[in-house]
Amino acid sequence: MIPPSIHSNRGAAWLRPALLGALLAFTPALRAQIKVGDSFPSLQSAELDGARPDTAGKVLLVDFWASWCTPCKASFPAYARIYGDFSPRGLALVAVSVDKVPADYAAFLRKMAPPFATARDVGQRLVTMVRVPSMPTSYLMGRDGRVRFIHEGFHNAGTEAEIRKEIEALLNEKSAP
Amino acid sequence: MKTRCIAVFALASLAAVLGGCASATAVRVQPWERATLADYTMRPDRDPLGTQLDEHIYFSREAASGGRGVGGSGCGCN
């Protein structure tokens, strides 16, 4: 004869793994997108195949792109102009490709010949962490490494003008102590 | 004992079903995973002759043509 107190403990014992299972099942839905105000994951520790420039204390623009994404092709000349104008004043720009096929990535870069740093997100780990809402998406970080502006898609001159204005504002902010 | 087994099974089934509904990765192709959808072969208008024949059938049946202005493939970019 088992006392009632032991009965109740056994009940709790089977309930715990079941609740844990339910929690694990919901885990993908709990992963959140990177939002304005969040810190951006470190590019140095990400598994990137390509250039990783020194971004410490700089205003950083990270653009997620792919060779199969048509607006990404339109964005590269604009980013080249932005980089040319603002890099001497402290802008770092890294274009992160989500291409799974290295040859597609290389062919795109041969054609576009961007002056800024590019890298391929091997295994799409960084983009999965960031959870970009659309392709392309660019994240503009202040000197403190926090996300200040997010641009979903690329809408030609309008997006370029907005990004220029935002970079100007961020560069004019005082450096973090 | 039997009741407990049924309860565990019911709870596990519920978690699996609800987890499947809630899991964005299981039910949705993420924006960065759409390389295949963006391929040229996914375009509905990739075959000009086929498009012309479809348009002819549509015109014969509906007495109307055009209005199929959605271009591009399925990457959903921008």
Q: Where are the domains of chain B?
A: 1-29, 34-66
Give the model's confidence band at A28: pLDDT under 50 very low, under 70 low, under 90 confident, else very high. Answer: very low
A93 contacts A141 by C-beta, under 8 angstroms: no
B40 and A CB contact within 8 Å? no
Residue A124 makes CB contacts below 8 A (sequence gap 6+) with: A98, A100, B32, B33
CB-CB under 8 Å, A134 with B11? no
For position B46, what pLDDT does the model report? 85
For position B15, what pLDDT does the model report? 74
Give the model's confidence band at A6: pLDDT under 50 very low, under 70 low, under 90 confident, else very high. Answer: very low
For position A133, what pLDDT does the model report? 94
A46 contacts A55 by C-beta, under 8 angstroms: no
β partners of residue A150: A139
Q: What is the mean pLDDT of chain B?
A: 78
CB < 8 Å from A in window 51-70 of B: none
**A26, pLDDT greater than 70:** no
CATH homologous superfamily of A48-172 = Glutaredoxin (3.40.30.10)
SS (H, E, C) A5-50: HHHHHHHHHHHHHHHHHHHHHHHHHHCCCCCCCCECCCCCCCCEEE
**B52, pLDDT greater than 50:** yes
For position A175, what pLDDT does the model report? 64
The span from the CA of A41 to the CA of A46, in Å, is 8
Closest listed residue to residue A132, CA positions, set A82, A69, A65: A65
Condensed to tens digits (0 to 9), the pLDDT of residues A96-139 reads: 999 999 999 999 999 999 999 999 999 999 999 999 999 999 99
Looking at chain B, the number of H-run helices and the number of E-run strands are: 3, 0
CB-CB under 8 Å, A70 with B72? yes
For position B71, what pLDDT does the model report? 60
For position A155, what pLDDT does the model report? 94
B3 and A CB contact within 8 Å? no
CB < 8 Å from B in window 77-136 of A: 98-101, 124, 127-128, 131-136
Q: What is the mean pLDDT of chain A?
A: 87
Residue A87 makes CB contacts below 8 A (sequence gap 6+) with: A93, A116
**Residue B74: in which H helix or E strand, if any?**
none
Of B61 and B43, the one with more pLDDT: B61
The span from the CA of B23 to the CA of B17, in Å, is 10
